[in-house]
Structure 1
Amino acid sequence: MRLRLVFSVTALVAAAHWVVLFGNIHLPPITAAFTPDAPQRLHTIWVQPTPAAPPAPQVQAAGQTTPPKPIAPRRPPAAPDAALTAAPAPRATAATPAPPVVETETPAVAADAANAQAMEPAAAPTQPQGPSLQVRNAADMPVTMVLPPDGSALTQHMELRFKVEGFVKGMQYHANAQLQWQTDGHTYQARQSISAFLLGSLEQTSTGLLTPQGLQPLQFVDRRLTKRRTVNLDWTAQQALFEPERTPAPIGPGTQDRLSVFLQLASMLQAMPDLRAPGTRIDIPTLGARRMQIWSFVVEGQAQLELPDGPVPTLRLHRLPQAGDDETAQLWLNPALGYVPVRMHMKESNGDVMDLTLKP
């Protein structure tokens, strides 16, 4: 009996060794617990990888932060708001923390705001408004000035020669003068020179533009012997700047200088016949080399002027003195020459006298 038991045990041990050494049987791991539900749990468990940490926000030049780009959702999101471009943040879970949502202004909205700000008109700088040309008829009613903008009311080119007589500091003198100008439909240049024996020479030049208001000087230069004085007219700033430097003078529409004022009068009377009526008053702001004055001319009427070539019909004007200033002038303008002066008699405040008469 005992022998049979030993033989059986020996046979079983030998069979087990044969199976382990030469068999194709896979035994389950000892630590794995086999249950009927184990295969189902293995098929339903999804292991998601740990999401990478979102990048740190970058600081822009304007002091704003750029939010990290959100993870694209698996399903198409709802239509975004027109004013926002940030995508909706994914729903937070224990495995995937939701990044912060920062609403940013779209480039289109920012561009519209910038364009709207740029289109706002800049505040115009306040500039002093200087005196302007004024015209009144014999009934003291204002007259609107209408002139051709190309300067066609003024002869395009002319050169006049004058005989000059006068007194300087009580001493009589004789001299010759020349007045010439030319225009090209847009600009003008004028020059007047007076030369006298022992007294030297005097020269004035005026350059500028032709506008619907007549001549618009840009520079006036006055030379007396070795002295030179210049006036530059800045129409943007509405100021006259003097050289040598003095306090700037405010200027307004129609401002002239001491040379262009005579050409302005000629073009006005040529283009506007109503101004030739006696009693018409024309106030023109006029710049000299040192200051601004208002030259007021009153039309006195038709006058016959005796010249070396014979009598000439003219229109006579009288320049009124200003308050506290005895400076006056008489002008005789020739209609046949476009109302340019053929004689000028001027008296300064200090008593100096200058009389210019057209030479044949």
Structure 2
Amino acid sequence: MKTARPPAVLVLAVLTLHLLLGHELQRIQDGWRDDGPPMPRRLQVEFVQEMQLQLPPPARRVATAPPVPVRVPATRSPVDDGPSQDLPPPPAPAASAPVVASAADAASAPSAPVGPVMPAAVAASGPVSDEPGPEWPLSTRLSYAMTGSFRGGPIHGQAQVEWLRQGAAYQVHLDVSAGPSFAPFFTRRISSQGQLTPDGIAPQRYDEEEKRLLLDGSRASVFFLGAEVQLAHGVRQPLARGAQDSASQFVQLTWLFLTGREALQAGRRVEFPLVLPRRQYAWQYEVVGEAVVDTPMGPLVSWHLRPTQPVVGGDLAAELWVAPALQYLPVRLLIRQSAETVIDLTLKSAPLQAAPESPNDIPRRLSP
């Protein structure tokens, strides 16, 4: 007598249930949740003008306090609760190599080294004040075309980065969607919010939110709590001074280059603590050198920055190309999660900016 076999539909339903449960358990283990505090409401900003290309004048550094060694996770590998070590102060910035807005300007570029665009108000005042001033870019929206691969398959889409500030409050939002804009099959938003300080960006909260076609959304949140940080899975760890998150780091780099706190020169390294949803890193970017990036505003000479270490456990790492002629904002981003998931973002239109909040926000050129 033959044993009755269960219907194929029942077998398929059981297998699907097991897959969904496995996915949910893995997501919870990684710190992704569907509940918890909602995403922060965006600051309301009106973008009224296209950013104009700027040729940087000779560098003048903003006077700053001597760097203080901070305790961060060891650079040899990412850590969860491992030992920390003191990092020496970064070397003093050196003069940058000549930079031009486009390849056509190369023949007429000055022979003397040139450096960051520094507003006159900043250079004249010495140390940066407690209130954010013209050394911070105006609220800016950058739109990108997206190509790459997702789990081994080709993807196309669009992305948008918004840097928003009102007084000392800031937000950074990166929105990525794959597929047609009217019906994307995958969307991801990463957001950072916090305060602008004399030492740069001080994040207070970071969120990653992901949605896929026919699946519920999920979110991971990180909270910066003074001397501690609460990671996405709820674990608290000591927080190093100057730590950035995955979104704030890009504007922090812009600020460092604009104010001359870090110089762009091939072979130099820019380092700071980096907090990702599941772990912290003692992060370093190597300045690879200059490269011309084709943009809708013409070919722009940009500086290529590349991470010096790999990430683990599905964390995201980005290479970036920053253009001095566009206030050192990224004109290209190459984001890797694994060998099979890579997103390449290239600027597809001129950046848009908000009107200055006050006369002090208007960037002014330094006289040579």
Q: TM-score, normalised by structure 1?
A: 0.56
SS of alignment partner, residue 172 of structure 1: strand
Structure 1: tracts of 5 or more residues without a match: 1-127, 140-145
List aligned pairs for 1:154-165, cutoff 5 A. Answer: 154-165=136-147
Q: Which amino acid aligns with 1:233?
A: F
Give the structure 2 partner of residue 135 of structure 1. Answer: 90
List aligned pairs for 1:305-324, cutoff 5 A. Answer: 305-322=293-310
Q: Provide Cα deviations, 1:94-115, integer angstroms capped at 9, x if missing partner.
A: xxxxxxxxxxxxxxxxxxxxxx
Distance in structure 2 (CA, Å) of the matches to 1:355 and 1:323: 18
Q: What is the RMSD computed on CA atoms of the aligned residues?
A: 2.8
1:221 counterpart (207, 211, 217) = 207
Give the structure 2 partner of residue 346 of structure 1. Answer: 335
Distance 1:291 1:324, change over 3 A: closer
Give the structure 1 partner of residue 324 of structure 2. Answer: 335
Quote how far apart the aligned CAs of 1:185 are. Answer: 3.6
Quote how far apart the aligned CAs of 1:152 are. Answer: 3.3
Identity across matched positions, percent: 29
Q: Which amino acid aligns with 1:276?
A: L
CA contact (8 A) 1:151 1:210 kept: no
Q: Which amino acid aligns with 1:203?
A: R
1:303 counterpart (271, 279, 291) = 291
Quote how far apart the aligned CAs of 1:130 are. Answer: 4.3
Q: Provide Cα deviations, 1:287-345, integer angstroms capped at 9, x if missing partner.
A: 22222123211122322112244311212212112487997542110112210101011
Give the structure 2 partner of residue 268 of structure 1. Answer: 256
Give the structure 2 partner of residue 256 of structure 1. Answer: 244
Distance 1:280 1:181, change over 3 A: same
Distance 1:151 1:253, change over 3 A: farther
1:189 pairs with 2:178: no
Quote how far apart the aligned CAs of 1:129 are. Answer: 5.2
Tell which has more relative contact order, 1 or 2 (C-alpha 8 A, sep 6+).
Answer: 2
Count how many residue pairs are aligned between Structure 1 and Structure 2: 224
Distance in structure 2 (CA, Å) of the matches to 1:221 and 1:282: 24
Q: Provide Cα deviations, 1:8-64, integer angstroms capped at 9, x if missing partner.
A: xxxxxxxxxxxxxxxxxxxxxxxxxxxxxxxxxxxxxxxxxxxxxxxxxxxxxxxxx
1:233 pairs with 2:219: no
Q: Provide Cα deviations, 1:64-115, integer angstroms capped at 9, x if missing partner.
A: xxxxxxxxxxxxxxxxxxxxxxxxxxxxxxxxxxxxxxxxxxxxxxxxxxxx
Quote how far apart the aligned CAs of 1:277 are. Answer: 2.2
Give the structure 2 partner of residue 212 of structure 1. Answer: 198
1:200 counterpart (186, 191, 203) = 186
Q: Which amino acid aligns with 1:342?
A: V
SS of alignment partner, residue 331 of structure 1: strand
Q: Provide Cα deviations, 1:136-162, integer angstroms capped at 9, x if missing partner.
A: 3589xxxxxx76652532212100000
CA contact (8 A) 2:144 2:346 kept: yes
Distance in structure 2 (CA, Å) of the matches to 1:350 and 1:276: 29
Distance in structure 1 (CA, Å) of the matches to 2:206 and 2:311: 25
Q: TM-score, normalised by structure 2?
A: 0.55
Distance in structure 2 (CA, Å) of the matches to 1:210 and 1:356: 27
Q: Provide Cα deviations, 1:214-240, integer angstroms capped at 9, x if missing partner.
A: 0000000110111111111011xx111
Distance 1:305 1:148, change over 3 A: farther
Q: Which amino acid aligns with 1:330?
A: E
Distance in structure 2 (CA, Å) of the matches to 1:279 and 1:147: 28
Distance 1:151 1:287, change over 3 A: farther
SS of alignment partner, residue 135 of structure 1: coil
Q: Which amino acid aligns with 2:90?
A: V
CA contact (8 A) 2:139 2:162 kept: yes
Distance 1:193 1:275, change over 3 A: same
Mean Cα deviation higher: 213-222 or 269-278: 269-278
Structure 2: tracts of 5 or more residues without a match: 1-69, 74-85, 95-126, 212-216, 350-368
Distance in structure 2 (CA, Å) of the matches to 1:240 and 1:151: 28
Distance in structure 1 (CA, Å) of the matches to 2:309 and 2:338: 9
| Larger Cα-atom Rg | 1
Distance in structure 1 (CA, Å) of the matches to 2:343 and 2:299: 22
Give the structure 1 partner of residue 362 of structure 2. Answer: none
